[in-house]
Amino acid sequence: MNNILLRKIEQKIFHIIFLISTLLVISALLSIIALITSKALPVLNLEYLLTPEINTGFAQGCANAIVGSIYIGVFSVVFSLPFAVGTAVYLKKYAKRNRFTYLVELFIDILSGTPSVVIGMLGFMVMAWQYKWLFGGFTLLAGIIAVGTHIIPIMTRTIIESIKTVPKIIEEGSYALGASKWETIENITLPSSLQGILSSIIMGLGLAMGESAIVILTAGYSLYIPEIGIIPSSKTIYGFLVLPFQQSVGSLPYLIYKSYMNPLEVPENYAFAAAFVLMALVITLNIIAKITMYQYSKNSK
């Protein structure tokens, strides 16, 4: 009897320890959200959200950063999606289980383990510096390519996972009816893994918008909302710039970083306001992702 009591007490002790650690985590995360929100609220108004910094002064408006971040997020995903889908389809559908495919999977892992600063510094050296005459210096385009490369591995893995879940029976049925390989992929495999592709898109969006080190080193910063058009310029060898791609853009992470770097010029409320906007965007994306997943699992039942 005594032994059982001791064992139960031991269990209770660890139960409490684990409960404490859980409460610690939850309260830390909740208080972060709460504190950021409370410090951001005093300056968070429509004017702050809709006016670019050029009109309001340093860090007192964030429209340029919001638009820039959206551009970076959307176009990075547009850039990386073909490569992610292509790599996933190749690995799961085309490649034989040989050493070459193992190498490709290894390389995806290497890419995913590359720290973002490293990708950023490479992007800077190659695109913003060496090929300045082609890109135009610190540009949105350089940022898109660099951030896009950074998010390819995660998207590839997610899409691979969802391709795996397509039942072989359906595909074999398609082949049995005489469809070619690509027809099967196009009409059966990809539509069935659409949910995974969708969630990889949303995940990539969130990651791209929150990426700081890469953007600092490749996309520069701008106080203006990016314009669209083509303007003549001596920065490139071919004499013109395609906007908004070949200009520097503002971004929320860089705005936050600059606000931190200049504490005397930027009251902390404005720094937290930018952080709040970024956080709200990312959490909203996560919620959308969860809702889409929930809807898909409901529909397939």
Partner 1 sequence: MNSKYLIDNVAGIIIKILAGFSVFMVFFIIGYIFYLAAPSFVNNGINFIIGTKWGNGTYQAGVFIINSIILCILTFIISVPIGLGTAIYISEFANEKIAHVLRFCIELLIGIPSVVYGLFGMYILSKLFKYNIDMFISDFLGVIPFFALSSSDSGSHILLASVVLSIMIIPILIVLTDDALKSISKEYKEGGYAIGATKWEVIKKIIVPTATPAIVSAIILSMVKAIGEATAITMAMGTKGAIVKNIFEPGTVMTSQILSSMGYSFNEPEILSALFGIAFILMTISLLFTIIARKIQDRVIYE
Contact between residue 252 and residue 277 where contact means Cβ atoms under 8 Å apart: yes
- 197 Rama class: left (phi>0) / alpha (psi -120 to 50) / beta: alpha
Show the tokens assigned to 224.
């203006």
- Between CA 36 and CA 197 the distance in angstroms is 32
In the complex, least distance from residue 157 CB atom to partner 1, rounded to whole angstroms: 11
Pick the closer one to partner 1 by CB: 18 or 133: 18
Q: Where are the alpha helices (DSSP H) in 114-249?
A: 116-123, 132-135, 140-164, 168-176, 181-184, 190-192, 194-210, 213-218
* Least distance between partner 1 and beta carbon 171 (Å): 15
CA torsion, ordered 25, 26, 30, 32, to nearest 10 deg: 0
Inter-residue contact 112 to 222 (CB < 8 Å): no
Choice between 61 and 73, CB closer to partner 1? 73
Place of tokens 């083509």: 230
Q: Which is nearer to partner 1, 11 or 45 (CB)?
A: 11
The most distant pair of C-alpha atoms in the chain lies apart, rounded to whole Å, by 89
Residue 15 or 49 with smaller CB distance to partner 1: 15
Among residues 9 and 231, whose Cβ is nearest to partner 1? Answer: 9
Cβ 118 to partner 1 shortest distance, Å: 5
Which residue's CB is nearer to partner 1, number 133 or number 182?
A: 182
CB of 239 to partner 1, least distance (A): 26
**What's the min distance (Å) between Cβ of 267 and partner 1?**
11
Joined tokens for residue 287: 């919620």
Torsion sign across C-alpha atoms 219, 223, 227, 233? negative
Of the pair 226, 253, the CB lying nearest partner 1 is at: 253
Q: Which CB atom, from 93 or from 240, has the smaller least distance to partner 1?
A: 93
Q: How far is the CB of 228 from partner 1 (least distance, A)?
A: 26
Tokens of 136: 């135009």
d(CA 144, CA 79): 7
- For residues 20 and 268, give the distance between their C-alpha atoms in angstroms, rounded to a whole number: 32
Nearest approach in angstroms of CB 197 to partner 1 is 14
Considering the complex, what minimum distance in angstroms separates the CB of residue 153 from partner 1? 8
Contacts of 39 (CB under 8 A, 6+ apart): 268, 269, 272
